[in-house]
Amino acid sequence: MFDFTLILLLIINGLISVSLFVSALIYYLKEKHHFQENKKTSLFCSGLICIGGILNALMMRYVVQFPEVGGYNLNSNFYLITNLTSALLSFFTYYLYLRTGQGLALSSGLPGSILLSQGRVSKSISWKTVLLPIPLLIAWTFIWFAIASPEPTDLALASTPEGNSPMNYIYTFFTASILAPVTEEILYRHFVMGLLARWFGSSKAAVVLNIWVSSLVFAIAHAGVVTDDWIKIMQILPAGVVFGWINRKKGLEHSILAHSLFNTLIIPSTLLLEQSMTI
């Protein structure tokens, strides 16, 4: 039986992804003469993302064992080829998002990236900004999941490594705490918020609209994790708003650190919730 809500959300997510890439390409070709200062750094960072994607694909195929659930087999050669292709393409897409996002940010009043700014902003990290919202986000997830009682989809179950091998924890940390925060923040905060700032402007109302629209796009991208997608969207939407606010105040690196810390802590928190509900 088809889950039409999930299919609709996946179609919407696919259309959004294509639209964002096309928008990035258009702005890059139109204004690339303004982005020369961050070319080498963007190449280096997108290269690291590509390497990270390749490592992720190889670990999924040869190192970590996944269960076969509902026809999903993440250890198959099909997923290896798909993930390797995605990793190679990520070099070009994230190079585009980094350079275009920085240009849009600087022209729209956003902080942008410390690494790409070449000395015009403070290099220090405001750990207070990064750390303070995290307990609230974890508490919200704990309370919301306790109320809504989400059920994982077959894909979510098939994506959970089997056993207690140390490599499983290394893989989970690498994907959830490093690769996902970096790629998602570059796309949804660095580029999307820069793009929306160009469209909406920098008034207070425009900033609020920017943060909420980019957060909704971010939340929709997480469809397919639980059987009732609205439950996941409600759980992750506040996190998107917080990361958007941090990006608006302090820039890309701060939102990456907050996202990484949230992901690192939320996994054991949700496991604790599952155990408490089965006692």
* Helical residues (DSSP H) of the chain, grouped into ranges: 4-31, 39-62, 77-108, 114-117, 127-131, 134-148, 154-158, 166-173, 180-184, 192-200, 204-220, 229-250, 252-278
Return d(Cα 58, Cα 78) in angstroms, integer. Answer: 12
42's CB contacts (< 8 A; 6+ apart) are 95, 98, 99, 102, 116
Q: What does the DSSP assignment read for 243-264?
A: HHHHHHHH-HHHHHHHHHHHHH
Q: Quick one: angle between helices 39-62 and 166-173, nearest 10?
A: 150
- How much is the pLDDT for 202? 87
The residue assigned the tokens 């958007």 is 244
Per the structure, how many domains does the chain have?
1
pLDDT tens by residue, the chain, 279 residues: 456 666 777 788 889 889 999 999 999 888 776 666 678 899 999 999 999 999 999 999 999 999 999 888 999 999 999 999 999 999 999 999 999 999 898 888 899 999 988 666 677 899 999 999 999 999 999 999 989 989 999 989 999 999 889 999 999 999 999 999 999 999 999 999 999 999 999 899 999 999 999 999 999 999 888 989 999 999 999 999 999 999 999 999 999 999 999 999 987 766 555 544 444
Are the CB atoms for 258 and 128 separated by under 8 Å?
Answer: no
Residues of the domain holding 208: 4-278
Structure-block tokens of residue 183: 């790629």
pTM of the model: 0.92
Q: How many CB atoms lie within 10 A of CB 266?
A: 19
**pLDDT at 277 (0 to 100):** 46
Provide the b/e sequence for 162-188 (b: ≥16 CB within 10 Å). eeeeeebeebbeebbbbbebbbbbbbb
Alpha carbon distance 149, 76 (integer Å): 31
- Token output for 141: 């997830």
